[in-house]
Structure 1
Amino acid sequence: MKIALFGATGRVGENILRYALDDGHQVKALVRSKPPFEHSNLESIVGDIRKAEDVEKTLEGTEAIFSAIGTDRTTTLSQAMPLIINAMKAKKIRRIITIGTAGILNSRMSPGELRFQGGDSNRKLTFAAEEHAAAFRLLEKTNLDWTIVCPTYLPDGKAYGNYRIEKDFLPEGGKQITVGDTAEFAYKQLENPEFIGSRVGIAY
């Protein structure tokens, strides 16, 4: 399969990239300067995810998309998602798997609100959650086959495999999940239709 990947130089994105290449997929990655490494099945496109022509070039000829775009106190994610959605529709690509944050899962404390709005999260700064929420709301309005993987606190670490998942909620008592397990679970969704049209909370 030919896969488009945004955020390939980030912690989760690079892990997803390695999984895809190890499985023999071809990957087109949009990067700002240079890819994290070279590989015969990796085509790196240097560009700006906030420019429609660069997004369209990355999606050309692909069948599915992974987005691991970080927020980094910028509006890059909310600027990029409309461009990705428009390009997907134009090129008739249906499947997109994105990395979100636990803040955009449903609140257990305040039904009808998201965790970052309902007081479930201890985080005082909500900018990142607001960016991810904007991306979620955009995808939610489409008929695309989207899945948003929503990790809680995300330390570096390998994939252990002993995590818990829950559709649209953070598993009860979940405090953290490694980068490795987040990437592994997200990558597995490429062949798994179970969570299409859903957010998925992941934690130990």
Structure 2
Amino acid sequence: MKLLLLGATGRVGSHVLQHALKDGHEVTVLVRSVDKLPHDLPQTVRVLAGNVCNENDVKQAMSGASAVISALGTDGTTTLTESMPFILDAMKQEGVSRIVTVGTAGILQSRVSPELLRYQSSESRQKLTRAAEEHHKAYLLLAQSGLDWTIVCPTYLPDGSYTGNYRVEAHHLPVDGMQISVPDTAEFAYKQLDSLDYLRMRVGIAY
């Protein structure tokens, strides 16, 4: 697989990169800070210094890709909503249909108020909703794109350890799910590249 990985220097993205390298995929990473990447990357990794909010940088990174995985975060910015149109347009121009992104449990459906998303309801314990609002906008763009998308939606995300043992549920957070580690989230997100189980769905993940 020729994979474009966005957010490769982040907590989840760095683990996704290791999975892709272990499986021998050709990976393109578009990063703002090349020095944050491991220094011993193999030649199968194409490193591009650039910004996902720059349309030309995204087009260059998308060239030759067969699938995209985005572990971009919010970090107090509008990176998600600024970059998503460029990502989707570049995918369509390049003929790439599959994209897996990492979102947040806040954009899953609420169980207590089914017509609302979790961050919009009393189900959410987060007092600040700005990050969830960013993910919500990105979700709407994906839902309207016509592409084969999946959004992996972790709840509280400590670094934690890999367990390989977690629960997932389409459109909802698993009942009483309280947290999920970064390595387990990365593994599940990576596995979705070769799976059609949650095509065009949001997927809650928790222990």
Please give the range of the TM-score, normalised by the shorter of the 2 chains.
Answer: over 0.9
Q: Does 1:19 align with 2:19?
A: yes
Higher mean displacement: 147-156 or 30-39: 30-39
Give 1:3's aligned residue.
3
Alignment partners' CA distance in 2, 1:78 and 1:154: 21
Alignment identity in percent?
A: 54
Partner of 1:202, secondary structure, is: strand
What's the C-alpha RMSD, in Å, of the aligned pairs?
A: 0.7
Give 1:51's aligned residue.
54
Alignment partners' CA distance in 2, 1:41 and 1:142: 30
**How big is the shift at 1:157?**
2.0
**How big is the shift at 1:111?**
1.3
Aligned residues: 204
Q: Please, what TM-score do these two structures have when normalized by structure 1?
A: 0.98
Q: Please, what TM-score do these two structures have when normalized by structure 2?
A: 0.97
Alignment partners' CA distance in 2, 1:49 and 1:119: 34
**2:138 aligned to 132, 135, 139, which one?**
135
Give 2:178's aligned residue.
175
Partner of 2:113, secondary structure, is: coil
Give 1:154's aligned residue.
157
Unaligned runs of 5+ in 1: none
Runs of 4+ residues over 3 Å off in structure 1: none
Alignment partners' CA distance in 1, 2:115 and 2:93: 33
Alignment partners' CA distance in 1, 2:59 and 2:122: 38
**1:110-134 deviation per Cα after TM superposition (whole angstroms, max 9, x unaligned):** 1111000012110100011000000
Equivalent residues in 2 for 1:8-157, closer than 5 Å: 8-34=8-34, 35-37=36-38, 38-157=41-160
Letter in 1 for 2:173: L
Unaligned runs of 5+ in 2: none
**How big is the shift at 1:31?**
0.3
Letter in 2 for 1:26: E
Alignment partners' CA distance in 1, 2:51 and 2:204: 29
